[in-house]
Structure 1
Amino acid sequence: MIKNITAVHGMHDYFFPDTLLWEYIENTIKRILKNYGYKEIKIPILEKSILFKKAIGEITDIVEKEMYNLNDRNGESLTLRPEGTAGCIRAIVEHNFFSSLNNRLWYNGPMFRYERPQKGRYRQFNQIGIETLGLESPYIDSEIIIITSHFWKELNIIDDVFLEINSIGSTKDRKQYIKKLILFLEKNFHLLDDDCKRRMYKNPLRILDSKNPNMQELLNKAPQLKNFLSKDCIVKLNKLCDIIKLLKINFSINYRLVRGLDYYNDIVFEWITNKIGSHKTICGGGRYDKLVKKLSNKTNISGIGCAIGIERLILLIKNINRIKLKDDYLIDIYLVPMNDNLALYKALFISEIIRKKFPLLKIVISYNFSNLKKQIVQAIKQKVHFLLIIGEKEINNKQLTIKDLLLNKQNTFFEKELITELVKILNFKT
């Protein structure tokens, strides 16, 4: 007996109607990005491993435990991308794409991380990323937040997500803070869980967003990052808050919010929901003003970006059940030739005429050649709107019969009147 081959654990297949919702989400986000002047960039799924080690930081969970690495035939270490920002900046640096220094870009596609699969967290997951380079004003930070808030409004989930922002300060600010934080953690080492003990020296900032309630209670007594921020970082955070308030976007400052990638500095933010289990981030991002210099010999070029998790959006939208996609019918016209000779030839010919005149219609030809009653049953199962019947009688009389399965109405007309008849019943304009 042959054992079935299954998908890789944590990597999923998606079928209709999930793919219909997926398409709707992507099209909504792309339309808004286009409205704001963002241009698409396509970047490879596979990159050199050194890129992520240098950009993300070698002492991070992603690089240490989660990357899918492989060696090519020349022995070079390659990695399935775990996130998109590093590859996007690599592409911009490699091709010297700094002509205007205010590039607004977006990308879309799968990312890969080897971690324990759970609801909303998979080993292959899809993101739409947004990146903006060359602008330092807090207004560009607010633009990213405004754009994402428009996504949620259009997807009718704005009441089910909430925005958290923070400043993690400059590199200098964080170095001073980390020293004090480590001293505190060392004094309370016996109270730390295993995860925090492991991170204490490697990446202590990640302890701040521990999901362990006991750790959060302990951290109430720890030094606070906000007390180590430079005046410049405080001014930027306050300015961003003023802009967001002016735009009436609800938010809160979460002084323990940090991002798990080393390239972030200053402003970071997350859109979070509690409608798909425990608090889950559906969109996260922040500033990375040193990343271009880190990956090149160029001077500092400021940047800010974020990434939206498509699978989590789908989970959220399905859970709250607030989007009703139109699915009364999925096929506009279903051509039914009643035999496989002249009627079939006629169906092929007519279908091409219709497609040429109405390129947006979904048109399918049936090749079942069973009796009409069975064909209608099959069409109803496929959610067909109009049935175009081509039988012996229609061919002899140079006629066609169209049946509206939603209204249960039928009309027979001469073949030469096809386009006129379709314009009329479909309410199209030629």
Structure 2
Amino acid sequence: MSKDKSAKIATPQAVRGTQDMLGDFADRFQHVVDRFEHVRRLYGYKRIEVPVIEPTAVFARSLGETTDVVSKEMYSFEDRGGEGVTLRPEFTAGIARAYITNGWQQFAPLKVATHGPLFRYERPQKGRYRQFHQLDAETIGSDSPLADAELLVFADQLLKELGVGEGVTLTLNTLGDAESRDAWRTALVEHFMGHRGDLSEDSLARLDKNPLRILDSKDPKDRPIADSAPDIDAYLTNEAQDFFAAVTAGLDAAGVAWERNARLVRGLDYYRHTAFEFVTDRLGAQGTVIGGGRYDGLIETLGGPATPAVGWAAGIERLAMLLDADVIDNRLDAVIAVEDDGQLALAMKALTALRGSGFSTEIVASGSPRKRFDKAAKIPAHALISIGTRDGESYINIRGDSERTIAAKAIVQAL
């Protein structure tokens, strides 16, 4: 039976909420990546690559079996060898695994950065996809509050370089050291147990395993209970207070504005000290564009030695959506219209010279010679170069008045 080659390819449920990119948004996406690569080099962060696919245990142990990411959102399956594998839902766990398995302790403190695709099965919405992309920066092996401050200054500079710093607020909290956190956790459990009958079903499930997560519950039923819960400040040790003060002093010295959010938490036990989010109201409900914190216990959870670490991640799509309309100039530097096939060699020589000098250039040399100029004029470019024959001699005419046009003109006229 023959197959109908014209039949459309059905989109399976698993990949709905993914995206194809072309043109303007693809350029915005790349602009975010380019600025990130520029800033991470300024701050001395080494480029790192980790696999898209990892053993499921890497994420189950790092993210926690009871979290929504592990229980509901991960793309996990058995490979042909019967091993459980998962498409990475985040970067930090894979980087921590690489740090352990490759013996990178010798390089500590290690500052690394990466970007690429991640995968989570969740309800697609504005700025959130099932295959999405993140920027990621980590400092592993440093217990200094200056490492936290540097990462936050890095993130702040990235936002400014992208031109999206206006309207984005850095919110900051401390989770304290292990002693502070344990004391606070005990007080929270006592508080929530006193309101057990009024909590939502999700918060009841979190009460035993992950009580801090009740603090950021979005369920209206939980909000009065969460809002009346004790803050961590009453339980902070002197050491924890000093650490947070050093982080905020570093931000103040660097001129980075911040606001305290005493309800900003991280539910898993390996998080310590600094927790932060850069938030905006320009993306609807999904307002976090950069988020992170200190995770001093993660590498130990994965079987490595006790290792302090701090990091953040940022959604590339979300940052691209925040860019101003005029941030990306999609115009070519030049487009060449070949109005006489007899001058094709000259046109190719001009094309090669311009591209070799770093000028983005396209050539129109097909179809009717009389229509090529009009066709070239429709291509967005700073300079329109027409090459043809007049009175038996070759001629070159260049239109445009930008600095790039003037420079391109000098190159072409020198041929």
Amino acid at match of 2:352: E
Alignment of 1:216-255 (within 5 A): 216-255=223-262
- Which consecutive residues of structure 1, in runs of 5 or more, have no partner in the other structure? 409-420
In the alignment, is the contact (CA less than 8 A) between 1:110 and 1:125 conserved in 2? yes
- Which consecutive residues of structure 2, in runs of 5 or more, have no partner in the other structure? 1-5
Residue 403 of structure 1 is aligned with which of 395, 398, 409?
398
Amino acid at match of 2:232: L
TM-score (norm: length of structure 1): 0.85
Match of 1:364 in 2: 362
Separation (CA, whole Å) in 1 of partners of 2:374 and 2:412:
26
Indicate how the Cα distance of structure 1 residues 401 and 74 shifts in structure 2: closer, same or farther if over 3 A, else same: same
Separation (CA, whole Å) in 2 of partners of 1:127 and 1:20:
16
Amino acid at match of 1:364: E
Q: Post-superposition shift, 1:181?
A: 2.3
Match of 1:355 in 2: 355
Separation (CA, whole Å) in 1 of partners of 2:59 and 2:414:
53
Amino acid at match of 1:351: L
In the alignment, is the contact (CA less than 8 A) between 2:111 and 2:139 conserved in 1? yes
Alignment of 1:4-43 (within 5 A): 4-6=9-11, 8-43=15-50
Residue 129 of structure 2 is aligned with which of 122, 128, 133?
122
Taking CA–CA contacts closer than 8 Å with sequence separation of 6 or more, which of the two structures ends up with the larger relative contact order? Answer: 2
Q: Post-superposition shift, 1:58?
A: 1.5
Say which SS state the counterpart of residue 328 (structure 2) adopts: coil
Residue 8 of structure 2 is aligned with which of 3, 15, 28?
3
Q: Post-superposition shift, 1:276?
A: 1.3
Separation (CA, whole Å) in 2 of partners of 1:182 and 1:240:
28
Amino acid at match of 2:355: R
**1:156-200 deviations in Å (ceiling 9; x for gaps):** 222211111111233444344333323332332332233323322
**1:386-409 deviations in Å (ceiling 9; x for gaps):** 444455x37963x242332x469x
Q: Which moved more, 1:113-122 or 1:209-218?
A: 209-218
Residue 311 of structure 1 is aligned with which of 305, 309, 317?
317
Separation (CA, whole Å) in 1 of partners of 2:65 and 2:197:
27
Alignment of 1:97-112 (within 5 A): 97-112=104-119
Say which SS state the counterpart of residue 259 (structure 1) adopts: coil
Separation (CA, whole Å) in 1 of partners of 2:169 and 2:7:
49
Q: Post-superposition shift, 1:60?
A: 1.2
Separation (CA, whole Å) in 2 of partners of 1:110 and 1:177:
36
Amino acid at match of 2:8: K
Separation (CA, whole Å) in 2 of partners of 1:195 and 1:297:
32
In the alignment, is the contact (CA less than 8 A) between 1:338 and 1:369 conserved in 2? no
Q: CA RMSD in A?
A: 2.9
Aligned length: 405
Q: Which moved more, 1:96-105 or 1:306-315?
A: 96-105
Say which SS state the counterpart of residue 7 (structure 2) adopts: coil
Separation (CA, whole Å) in 1 of partners of 2:79 and 2:35:
38
Residue 274 of structure 2 is aligned with which of 245, 267, 273?
267
Alignment of 1:38-53 (within 5 A): 38-53=45-60
Separation (CA, whole Å) in 2 of partners of 1:343 and 1:48:
60
Separation (CA, whole Å) in 2 of partners of 1:149 and 1:6:
39
Separation (CA, whole Å) in 1 of partners of 2:90 and 2:374:
47
Say which SS state the counterpart of residue 158 (structure 1) adopts: coil
Q: Post-superposition shift, 1:365?
A: 2.9
Say which SS state the counterpart of residue 289 (structure 2) adopts: strand
Separation (CA, whole Å) in 2 of partners of 1:153 and 1:260:
30
1:377 aligns with 2:380: no
Residue 334 of structure 1 is aligned with which of 323, 333, 336?
336
In the alignment, is the contact (CA less than 8 A) between 2:335 and 2:379 conserved in 1? no
Separation (CA, whole Å) in 1 of partners of 2:83 and 2:396:
64
In the alignment, is the contact (CA less than 8 A) between 1:205 and 1:258 conserved in 2? yes
Amino acid at match of 2:372: Q
In the alignment, is the contact (CA less than 8 A) between 1:334 and 1:366 conserved in 2? yes
Match of 2:327 in 1: 324
Q: Post-superposition shift, 1:53?
A: 1.2
Separation (CA, whole Å) in 1 of partners of 2:413 and 2:275:
48
Say which SS state the counterpart of residue 108 (structure 1) adopts: strand
Identity %: 33
Alignment of 1:192-211 (within 5 A): 192-211=199-218
